Amino acid sequence: MNKVYVEERDGGFWIAGTRIPLDSVVYAFRRGAAPETIRRSFPLLTLEEVYGAITFYLAHEQEIDEHLQQSELKFEAEAEQRREQFRQANPDLYERFKPARQESETTARVGLPKQHQRTLDQALGLLATNKAAPTDEEVEQLLEERRRAKFL
């Protein structure tokens, strides 16, 4: 009896019957996380499904790695487009966030995984919005929270 652990849909690979992308399991596996640890990170998955996803990845490693690389390139292009929209819509705020962005890029160069870089980009809210610019105190608080998070 064959069981399917990974399915391809909507242009990506997903753990069968879930909304959990294979990418998440693969990134954890690449970081050296044990299947049991990955299972704890995704309580909706069984240990069997985690092992099945890892086995699928190992059996299709080149294809999945190419897919991940393409996804990262697409994400980077979209992020750059959002940054440009943000810069045009809020030039003053963009300049105030520039030091934080440079700090996060420096951190990325010394080994921060790309998925954490994405989280930082999203946390900075680099989207064109009509919201009022944060105060200097709010910016300082955000930067301090990010600095503390790096050491957790």
More confident residue, 82 or 97: 82
- Tell me what pLDDT residue 93 has: 83
- Tell me what pLDDT residue 142 has: 78
Q: What's this model's pTM, rounded to 2 decimal places?
A: 0.59
Please compute the mean of the pLDDT values over residues 127-141 and round it to a whole number.
65
Q: HSE on the CB side for 74, CA within 13 Å?
A: 8
Q: Is the pLDDT of residue 61 over 90?
A: yes
Chain centre to alpha carbon of residue 24: 9
How many whole angstroms separate alpha carbon 92 and alpha carbon 60?
Answer: 47
Q: Can you list the domains of the chain with their CATH numbers?
A: 6-59 (1.10.10.10), 76-150 (no CATH)
- Tell me what pLDDT residue 50 has: 97
- Whole-number mean pLDDT of the chain? 82
Buried b (16+ CB within 10 A) or exposed e, 91-128: eebbeebeebeeebeeeeeeebeeeebeebbeebebee
pLDDT per residue as tens digits for the range 85-123? 888 888 888 888 888 777 766 655 455 556 556 655 555
State the burial class of residue 13 (Cβ atoms within 10 Å of its Cβ: 0-12, 13-18, 19+). buried
Name the β-bridge partners of 140. Answer: none
Query: How is residue 128 annotated by DSSP?
Result: -
- Tell me what pLDDT residue 91 has: 85
Q: Which two tokens stand for residue 111?
A: 């080994």
The dihedral built from the CA positions of residue 141, 143, 146 and 147, taken in this order, carries a sign that is negative
- Tell me what pLDDT residue 134 has: 66
How many whole angstroms separate alpha carbon 38 and alpha carbon 28?
Answer: 7
